[in-house]
Chain A
């Protein structure tokens, strides 16, 4: 018997899966019913122990072509892990992956109770361990630090457009999901992926048609260098930001962000397009949100969460920048907002010919 010990002292029993190591992280949950491979390989989960609310995980095993990046999460909690997967693309059982990547986890856990506690008390830290520690201070002391630095690449690299090149995009990699790159390539963009440490001058010197700000982990305010670079980029080129990219752009433009009580993670979040009056179902994974009011006079709120009213997207037309909190690249989750990539490409083309 192993344990998940929460910083409030709650102890969950479970059985070990994955790597046999103890680990402390920030305990979060995701409500996606499928797409566990995309979740496990999403760099935005850096520093976090992820709980799956859907009770059957691993049904279709591991399909490497569905990976979104390098696993960065610290732990994985499921109710039941399938060791006899079935799918025409399945290569091997999920547990093999967890072991190979050194990710510790537990199965047989009352995951619904974890969600209930998190919902009531807010997000908290937890530890996966074989013995319940007498002292919880180490658990309580943990905070997600240097998140972007831990997941962003060190070298820039290029990805060619599918078919004829329409635009050249500089993607700043704060922990980018592969499907952002694929979504751009599919639309005729060649993509240069820049490490988060890249200076604005260097990026601009490569003369891209537009700059894409990726998703990524952690507290946005921690990334002072990145925010500084964005101040120099925004206004010079069309910019499209997703998730952490959305938050960093807001901070660069003088706005504020807050930590949400327990975040939005899953594929069923409704987001209202305030101008068009339409509501879209989106894929989300974030613990912080932009304070729309803090950007009054700077930008307009473009999307709003239909459940809790939090800011889901900003438009800064004067500086040709728009950003969204949710994931139009999906993977996993609904693809209903992929049209935003078309909008970005269109903007780049307009600016090119302007």
Chain B
């Protein structure tokens, strides 16, 4: 059946902020959906609270609402826009859940909105545990046998029926505490009793233990006529027990015979047929490695992280096709755009191996458990393509930016290697490699890890080869073998001791969905060691080539914003007439879509990998400014090999990054910055702190991720800190900086070296000391005098020009004691570019890209100087993923911890903040509820004045104030009614108040002291479980109080279509 012509206007729901488990893949999917809908001539209405996305770009949809993703708001958008249909399967779990809510509450029926794609009963069959089991039973597909028990007897009966070993999972406990594996009845008695106790509702799930089985996934598609295909199989190198998002994954599955493969493929197609999926669907299976026994683990009736991976791994655009199917097309009516000749109703075949490697945030959460389990912890991932498993794995590891270019990693602890092998942590692959080098047998490692011997044998042969070359040096043929196995020259030199390596040109082969069976038109490449290079064979347009470097895996501090900027740069350069090449290795992004640039190289962003591509592409220049730190850190290398950097020069980048050179520059203009010094001993540190005056910011230099940054307010704290750091032994000095708790400002500036455009100034709600990425940022500034505004513009202009900026520069300021200081200058695209571009209407990346190529800024139509602000307030609110990393220290500080952000746009600051906080997931009661609300305050002594103000505000709003002993005393001293609560160490009072709903918000700053961090973690974990927002900054709390006192509700804010903003 061709397209359904009655669909003229479609609502697309995005996935909201980036959190662990829901990352950039949904921007990629959503952007594809919007483009398909537009191509089909459909009016696209988009709702997504995440401003850092490409899908919320002006031209991707007709009406774009950067509004909170909740049922009330989406209902209002539906009421206003009256779409014919709703596409839900592309906005992750968020989009799917919203669609289900709107269907259940009758909104869709009320406004005549059709759910496009999978029908609601199909979604329910996949999502509802019971319905899913029933459906699987009907078609004879085995689920993991399980039972629910509320007594010990029930638990034992369930275990007997299922058969040992079983897993016990207590209901409603975070992180599976109180659960475990019972091998027999005796163990079960102990475990079940403990589990029932641990569960707040005295309930446990008893499940057959399939840990150690192979985990296999199929990405499938089905159209409304019942045509079904399996796009790609994937095999988790880590067996069942580790979340697939935290597993090393290969595609296609490598250890299955045809019988096993077809058994699971048929099962997945039977499942999606029985459920009635229309579009893409992910099916996960556990397969017993010793038989044909298998179990269906899960079915996701939507596009997912795995489908993004499958799309990039095969070249088959699942999101695009899913959208077409939702419009009524049949699979066989859609062309495969990679070949241009064949049809989309086929199954891709690949002639390479794909490896996915997760990117974990443990560098940001020092001390947080690195153990992996059923809760995903990775923030992002890299994908790599090779002709061998080893080659793909090596590319993935060095592309993950974990300071490794081989599998030889220093152990995480001093434990015996066998002990470490049993730990399912993010380091296990490297532990396995270490064990193989130590001569531990494949069979023993298999017993300890259940990683299939196929993979272990491959690793073993790499380990043995490395060891042999280390002892003999490079023998004839060794170098080629190293290259075939994917080793970079730097590693080969290190392992072999060779000074000189023979010349070796890599080739590039095409990803074409069909193993070369048909001629492909899509220039999507990966490197290999073959002689024939399909990239070199490809006819070029003759236009000058520019390479844009992407930003690698999504991680805290370098998220989707950088993909937004990279993609916009590519689009602009293509429009200007360049032949644009992009290099990136993140499968979740728009930048790695085969039709974003003229050519895509899916390769790691290391000097050698980039150099090899330069050899083929011979670019007139390389763009490093938009790919975050990943791209910027290649500047020195590119400059050393005389490759022109487009935009700000390597020299200027160095000035901004080198402390001494930068200080000299500031001095020249008489610009202040917080003073600081480098120290190596306790005495030096104390003297420095004394001289600078407390409080001071302490941090070790040259530590990745800025771990161990702290604010010290006393001699004792400095002593503690230095003793701790010195005990570990330091190679580099510790930096002691003046800590000025002032107002933070941030600007992104575009300059062509002659003129300067400042699209906007942002003011942070939280005082300096909280990382800018974790601060609530307000545009335009709400508290900035004209004098300071002029000063910010003046200094920004001076710095941008002095640095010889050609493109973007981000500058962070702080105002303290009526004085303006510069904190940081980053001569590149920043995190705030998409946000400011969208609310000001200044296409910042477009302008910056044109400037880089020599076009004067003054002629671009946006003027120079400070761009006039629109009559709106736009507030960026950070979003954290602490519920996924439940032991992580959630106290905001100088190190960034948020994974994503949302935007609130309103006429007033209060309205924007209301939207921003509700979009970030804060539940915000209406005025009527206030009398039943409570706030708990527990703050440090120096915060008493602010806490008192806060308490007063709450009191005035009719909100009940609770406080811990000392805080309560301080508050009651000024005559405000407060209920003292016992210390969490000695009493469970605080927990009970949270559980019985008396406390709606938690404000806690005492945690900055080491001895109370433990208390805070317990409280925070409890609060997360109950959905109670925790604030560790009184500034955030004050902002919250602002809106608690406001008139706004989810029903009365203005819905702002950013394509129709008043200017």
Binding site for B on A (CB under 8 A): 29, 31-35, 37-38, 53-56, 59-60, 63, 66, 79-80, 82, 84-89, 110-113, 115-116, 119-120, 266-270, 272, 277-281, 306-307, 330-336
Q: Which residues of chain B come closer than 8 Å to A56, judged between CB atoms? A: 254, 353, 388-389
Given A270-B343, A281-B347, A306-B345, decide whether A85 and B532 contact each other with a Cβ distance below 8 A. no
Is B229 a contact partner of A89 (Cβ separation < 8 A)?
no
Is A112 a contact partner of B509 (Cβ separation < 8 A)?
yes
Is A279 a contact partner of B345 (Cβ separation < 8 A)?
yes
**A92 CB to nearest chain B CB (Å):** 14
Q: Which residues of chain B come closer than 8 Å to A80, judged between CB atoms? A: 387-388
CA distance A55 to B388 in the complex (A): 7
Q: Which residues of chain A come closer than 8 Å to B228, judged between CB atoms? A: 336
Residues of B472-531 at the interface with A, using a CB-CB cut-off of 8 Å, are: 509, 514-519, 530-531
Can you name 8 A-B residue pairings with CB atoms under 8 Å?
A33-B350, A113-B532, A116-B516, A119-B517, A267-B347, A269-B346, A277-B330, A332-B258
Q: Could you say which of A63, A113, A267, A306 contacts B530, with CB atoms under 8 Å apart?
A: A113
- A53's nearest neighbour on chain B, judged by CB, is B515
Q: Could you say which of B227, B258, B518, B530 contacts A35, with CB atoms under 8 Å apart?
A: B258
Is B258 a contact partner of A307 (Cβ separation < 8 A)?
no
Q: Could you say which of A60, A66, A331 contacts B255, with CB atoms under 8 Å apart?
A: A60
- A109's nearest neighbour on chain B, judged by CB, is B530
Q: Could you say which of A87, A89, A111, A336 contacts B269, with CB atoms under 8 Å apart?
A: A336
Pairs A-B, 9 closest by C-beta atoms = A35-B258, A84-B457, A53-B515, A86-B454, A332-B258, A86-B453, A268-B347, A115-B516, A279-B332
Is A119 a contact partner of B518 (Cβ separation < 8 A)?
yes
**B222 CB to nearest chain A CB (Å):** 12
SS class of chain B's interface: helix, strand, loop or mixed?
loop
Inter-chain contact total with CB atoms closer than 8 Å: 158
B256 within 8 A of A: yes
Residues of B288-302 at the interface with A, using a CB-CB cut-off of 8 Å, are: 289-291
Q: Could you say which of B255, B461, B516 contacts A112, with CB atoms under 8 Å apart?
A: B516
Q: Which residues of chain B come closer than 8 Å to A38, judged between CB atoms? A: 258
Is A79 a contact partner of B262 (Cβ separation < 8 A)?
no
CA distance A331 to B331 in the complex (A): 25
CA distance A115 to B255 in the complex (A): 25
Q: Which residues of chain A come closer than 8 Å to B346, judged between CB atoms? A: 268-270, 281, 306-307
Q: Which residues of chain A come closer than 8 Å to B515, judged between CB atoms? A: 29, 31, 53-54, 112, 115, 266
Binding site for A on B (CB under 8 A): 225-230, 252-259, 261-262, 265-266, 269, 289-291, 330-332, 341-343, 345-353, 387-389, 452-454, 457-458, 461, 509, 514-519, 530-532, 534
CA distance A307 to B269 in the complex (A): 21
**A304 CB to nearest chain B CB (Å):** 10
Can you name 4 extra interface pairs (CB under 8 A) apart from A112-B532, A277-B225?
A31-B349, A84-B458, A87-B257, A306-B343
Q: Which residues of chain A come closer than 8 Å to B531, judged between CB atoms? A: 110
- B262's nearest neighbour on chain A, judged by CB, is A335
**A54 CB to nearest chain B CB (Å):** 6
- B232's nearest neighbour on chain A, judged by CB, is A33
CA distance A35 to B349 in the complex (A): 13
**B433 CB to nearest chain A CB (Å):** 16
**B378 CB to nearest chain A CB (Å):** 26
Given A34-B256, A53-B515, decide whether A334 and B265 contact each other with a Cβ distance below 8 A. yes
Q: Which residues of chain A come closer than 8 Å to B351, judged between CB atoms? A: 31, 53-55, 79, 111-112, 115
Q: Which residues of chain B come closer than 8 Å to A113, judged between CB atoms? A: 530, 532
CA distance A281 to B388 in the complex (A): 27
CA distance A31 to B512 in the complex (A): 13
CA distance A334 to B265 in the complex (A): 8
Q: Which residues of chain B come closer than 8 Å to A266, judged between CB atoms? A: 349, 515, 517
CA distance A116 to B345 in the complex (A): 23
Q: Could you say which of A31, A89, A272 contacts B332, with CB atoms under 8 Å apart?
A: A272
CA distance A64 to B222 in the complex (A): 35
**B327 CB to nearest chain A CB (Å):** 18
CA distance A269 to B517 in the complex (A): 11
**A171 CB to nearest chain B CB (Å):** 22
CA distance A74 to B531 in the complex (A): 26
Q: Which residues of chain A come closer than 8 Å to B387, judged between CB atoms? A: 55, 79-80
Is B348 a contact partner of A110 (Cβ separation < 8 A)?
no
Is A115 a contact partner of B517 (Cβ separation < 8 A)?
yes
Is A31 a contact partner of B514 (Cβ separation < 8 A)?
yes
CA distance A171 to B291 in the complex (A): 32
Q: Could you say which of B229, B255, B290 contacts A59, with CB atoms under 8 Å apart?
A: B255
CA distance A80 to B1045 in the complex (A): 69
Is B454 a contact partner of A85 (Cβ separation < 8 A)?
yes
CA distance A35 to B259 in the complex (A): 8
**B130 CB to nearest chain A CB (Å):** 30
Given A113-B532, A306-B343, A331-B258, decide whether A55 and B516 contact each other with a Cβ distance below 8 A. no
- B513's nearest neighbour on chain A, judged by CB, is A268
- B289's nearest neighbour on chain A, judged by CB, is A88
Is A306 a contact partner of B332 (Cβ separation < 8 A)?
yes
CA distance A255 to B509 in the complex (A): 42
**B324 CB to nearest chain A CB (Å):** 15
Q: Which residues of chain B come closer than 8 Å to A35, judged between CB atoms? A: 257-258, 261
CA distance A113 to B262 in the complex (A): 28
Q: Which residues of chain B come closer than 8 Å to A269, judged between CB atoms? A: 346
Is B252 a contact partner of A89 (Cβ separation < 8 A)?
no
Given A53-B516, A84-B457, decide whether A34 and B389 contact each other with a Cβ distance below 8 A. no
CA distance A34 to B251 in the complex (A): 12
**A91 CB to nearest chain B CB (Å):** 12
Q: Which residues of chain B come closer than 8 Å to A268, judged between CB atoms? A: 346-349, 514
CA distance A332 to B257 in the complex (A): 9
- B261's nearest neighbour on chain A, judged by CB, is A34
Q: Which residues of chain A come closer than 8 Å to B453, judged between CB atoms? A: 84, 86
Is B256 a contact partner of A330 (Cβ separation < 8 A)?
no
Q: Which residues of chain B come closer than 8 Å to A111, judged between CB atoms? A: 351
**B752 CB to nearest chain A CB (Å):** 46
**A261 CB to nearest chain B CB (Å):** 11
Is B258 a contact partner of A54 (Cβ separation < 8 A)?
no
Is A278 a contact partner of B226 (Cβ separation < 8 A)?
yes
CA distance A120 to B36 in the complex (A): 32
**B236 CB to nearest chain A CB (Å):** 15
CA distance A239 to B352 in the complex (A): 41
Is B517 a contact partner of A89 (Cβ separation < 8 A)?
no
- B341's nearest neighbour on chain A, judged by CB, is A307
Q: Could you say which of A31, A66, A112, A277 contacts B259, with CB atoms under 8 Å apart?
A: A66
Q: Which residues of chain B come closer than 8 Å to A37, judged between CB atoms? A: 257-258
Is B347 a contact partner of A59 (Cβ separation < 8 A)?
no
Is B266 a contact partner of A335 (Cβ separation < 8 A)?
yes
Is B532 a contact partner of A110 (Cβ separation < 8 A)?
yes
Q: Which residues of chain B come closer than 8 Å to A115, judged between CB atoms? A: 351, 515-517
Q: Which residues of chain B come closer than 8 Å to A120, judged between CB atoms? A: 519
Q: Could you say which of B227, B258, B388 contacts A279, with CB atoms under 8 Å apart?
A: B227
Q: Which residues of chain A come closer than 8 Å to B534, judged between CB atoms? A: 116
Is B532 a contact partner of A66 (Cβ separation < 8 A)?
no
Q: Which residues of chain B come closer than 8 Å to A307, judged between CB atoms? A: 341-343, 346, 518
Is B349 a contact partner of A279 (Cβ separation < 8 A)?
no
Q: Which residues of chain B come closer than 8 Å to A66, judged between CB atoms? A: 257-259
CA distance A56 to B387 in the complex (A): 8
**B313 CB to nearest chain A CB (Å):** 12
Q: Which residues of chain B come closer than 8 Å to A336, judged between CB atoms? A: 228, 266, 269
CA distance A54 to B367 in the complex (A): 43
CA distance A267 to B519 in the complex (A): 19
Q: Which residues of chain A come closer than 8 Å to B331, judged between CB atoms? A: 279
Q: Which residues of chain B come closer than 8 Å to A79, judged between CB atoms? A: 351, 387
Q: Which residues of chain A come closer than 8 Å to B332, judged between CB atoms? A: 270, 272, 279, 306
Q: Which residues of chain B come closer than 8 Å to A89, judged between CB atoms? A: 257
Interface centre among B261, B266, B517 (most CB of A within 10 A): B517
Is B530 a contact partner of A34 (Cβ separation < 8 A)?
no
**A313 CB to nearest chain B CB (Å):** 16
CA distance A327 to B1047 in the complex (A): 69
Q: Could you say which of A53, A84, A86 contacts B349, with CB atoms under 8 Å apart?
A: A53
Q: Which residues of chain B come closer than 8 Å to A85, judged between CB atoms? A: 454
